[in-house]
A and B are shown apart, each in its own frame.
Chain A
Amino acid sequence: GQNIDQPTEMTATEGAIVQINCTYQTSGFNGLFWYQQHAGEAPTFLSYNVLDGLEEKGRFSSFLSRSKGYSYLLLKELQMKDSASYLCAVGGGSQGNLIFGKGTKLSVKP
């Protein structure tokens, strides 16, 4: 079956670092995506990993281990505007689609 797991909610403090984990079991794998979604809005693309290792993009970094079926999104120097849901998605659907996790709702406190 297809399964993507990520924590439901996380809380962190402004200025801190937070790591959001994602584990996956899919029949295929064509890369792992992270999206950010503010309440009531559309998801926006953050990062894409297809090879093992760390991809850094400003305050955001994403890591992938294909052998472990594991990824994380690292957010540094947290800002209040980072309060959002973070969606992990795997390109591996038999129908040519992305398979999405349920999302992790991150709350950043002052």
Chain B
Amino acid sequence: DGGITQSPKYLFRKEGQNVTLSCEQNLNHDAMYWYRQDPGQGLRLIYYSQIVNDFQKGDIAEGYSVSREKKESFPLTVTSAQKNPTAFYLCASSNDRGNTDTQYFGPGTRLTVL
């Protein structure tokens, strides 16, 4: 089955620790995205990548880092510099490098900082 997977589903982290969230897709999509969702807020773009070995900052990139070494994978690292990392993190992909194509979402990772 084609789709997007994210792991883990729930993640707990101590303050001061970096943590990496996994995102894998087998849809052969060029573009991949990371969003953050907080209660009462819309999805906010953290980073996106339109092609392998290239990625761009979104609206709230501070305290996060990404890599895109393979087309299928777009991991997100939440660093200790992120002031308020507790949130629901969603990865998405689309076939088109632009924003005219439908984005499909993974199941999400809920990160809690203890």
Contacts and interface: CB of A to CB of B under 8 A. Distances in A.
A89 B100 CA distance: 11
Contacts of B106: 42
Task: Place the interface of chain B in its size category.
Answer: 20 to 34
Contacts of A100: 35, 42-44
Contacts of B45: 93, 95, 97
A44 B107 CA distance: 10
B48 interface: yes
B50 interface: yes
Interface string B84-112: 00001010000001111011111110100
A100 B33 CA distance: 13
B31 interface: yes
B42 A43 contact: no
B107 A42 contact: yes
B4 to A, nearest CB: 8
B42 A97 contact: no
A42 B89 CA distance: 10
B40 interface: yes
Interface in A91-110: 91-93, 95-98, 100-103
A43 B42 CA distance: 12
Interface in B13-51: 31, 33, 35, 40-45, 48, 50
A64 interface: no
B105 A44 contact: yes
B42 A95 contact: no
A97 B104 contact: no
Nearest to B42: A100
Contacts of B102: 33, 45, 48
A4 interface: yes
A30 interface: yes
A97 B96 CA distance: 11
Given A95-B48, A97-B48, 5 more contacts: A44-B105, A45-B104, A93-B45, A96-B98, A102-B40
5 contacts: A92-B99, A93-B99, A95-B59, A96-B50, A96-B99
